[in-house]
Amino acid sequence: MDAAIGKKLILLNQQFYQTFAKPFSATRQQIQPGVRKVIHSIPPHSRILDLGCGNGVLWQRLFEDGYRGDYLGLDFSQELLQQATTAASQTPMYSSEAPQPRFFQADLTENGWQSLAQPPGYDYVLAFAVLHHLPGAQTVIQVLEQTRLLLAPGGKLIFSVWQFLNSPRLRQRIQDWSEIGVSGSQVEPGDYLLDWRQGGRGLRYVHHFNPDELEHLASRCGFRCGEEFLSDGKGANLSLYQVWRLDNVIV
């Protein structure tokens, strides 16, 4: 993908999440079933890096379930981060028994975001509904390679990617690239423009990943895929979840 097109798509998504932060957050007051499934096995004192932490509802659920570890959430939406910080400060029963969660603004598409996550050695990096908003395979590879360096030996990357093509209703939200002055030849296979219809009309860039594509990315970036399953939505098939472990050899 041309760098100028990639930047345009990044700015499109940033504008979306700034403009629609409140209505978007209102639809994200509960974690998804697939997220509940994977966080159930996270030990209570693990170090967690949460990429695209949004309004902090994931940390809230972890804490309610007994999590008391070192948690860092990164997101580029200042509005969503403010909601996360406020909610964490008002959490009932919060005490000195656990480290206070940290929430920082960061753009994963820009070099240097990983400096906020120092020192490395995270037991888990979580990236739910994040990778599909990163335009261009090279951008995704860059983020995955940086993530790999932040994990502890034996650490895991757990993520989900949106499988919106499994829903006839969501397919109807696919828009023509001409709406943002881009042609289909300028984007990559699997790239889509989707509209948003709550609190006004907005547009978002989304990439639809398939399992073969993710397998290639895992190998390319020094991971090996473990558990994989579909979840979320009425048909329990709107998100693909994968658990990646560090591999000894980068292919």
For 31-88, the pLDDT digits (tens) are 899 999 999 889 999 999 999 998 899 999 999 898 999 999 999 988 889 989 998 8
Sign (positive or negative) of CA dihedral 240, 140, 130, 98: positive
Q: Give the pair of three-digit tokens for residue 163.
A: 């499988």
Beta partners for 228?
Answer: 242
Q: Which of 73, 50, 61, 56 is nearest to 21 (CA)?
A: 56
Residue 109 is assigned to a structural domain of this protein: yes
| Cα(67)–Cα(59) distance, integer angstroms | 9
Q: Which of 95, 24, 89, 101 is nearest to 59 (CA)?
A: 101
ω before 189 within 30° of 0 (cis)? no
Residue 16 is assigned to a structural domain of this protein: yes
Q: What is the CATH number of the domain that holds 208?
A: 3.40.50.150
| Cα(147)–Cα(163) distance, integer angstroms | 23
Total count of domains within the chain: 1
Q: Mean pLDDT in the chain? A: 90
Residue 170 is assigned to a structural domain of this protein: yes
Q: Which of 18, 19, 22, 32 is nearest to 61 (CA)?
A: 32
Instruction: Please check the confidence at residue 249 and state whether its pLDDT lies above 50.
Output: no
Residue 251 is assigned to a structural domain of this protein: no
Beta partners for 202?
Answer: 196
What per-residue confidence (pLDDT) applies to 24? 66
- Residue 201 sits at the vertex; the CA angle it makes with 198 and 205, to the nearest 5 degrees, is 100
Q: Which residue has the higher pLDDT, 21 or 170?
A: 170
| Cα(148)–Cα(121) distance, integer angstroms | 10
What per-residue confidence (pLDDT) applies to 87? 85
For residue range 135-188, list pLDDT tens digits in order. Answer: 999 999 999 999 999 999 999 999 999 999 999 999 999 999 999 999 999 999
Q: Which residue has the higher pLDDT, 137 or 97?
A: 137
Instruction: Please check the confidence at residue 251 and state whether its pLDDT lies above 50.
Output: no
Instruction: Please check the confidence at residue 95 and state whether its pLDDT lies above 60.
Output: no
CA within 13 Å, CB half, 196: 19
Residue 100 is assigned to a structural domain of this protein: yes
What per-residue confidence (pLDDT) applies to 27? 63
Q: Pairing mode, if any, of strands 191-196 and 71-75?
A: unpaired
| Cα(204)–Cα(194) distance, integer angstroms | 5
Provide the percentage of residues in the chain whose pLDDT is more than 90.
73
Residue 202 is assigned to a structural domain of this protein: yes
Q: Which domain does 151 fall in, by range?
A: 3-246
Residue 50 is assigned to a structural domain of this protein: yes
Residue 57 is assigned to a structural domain of this protein: yes
179 Cβ contact list (under 8 Å, min separation 6):
193, 203
Q: Are 59 and 53 spatial neighbours (Cβ–Cβ below 8 Å)?
A: yes
Instruction: Please check the confidence at residue 94 and state whether its pLDDT lies above 80.
Output: no
What per-residue confidence (pLDDT) applies to 161? 97
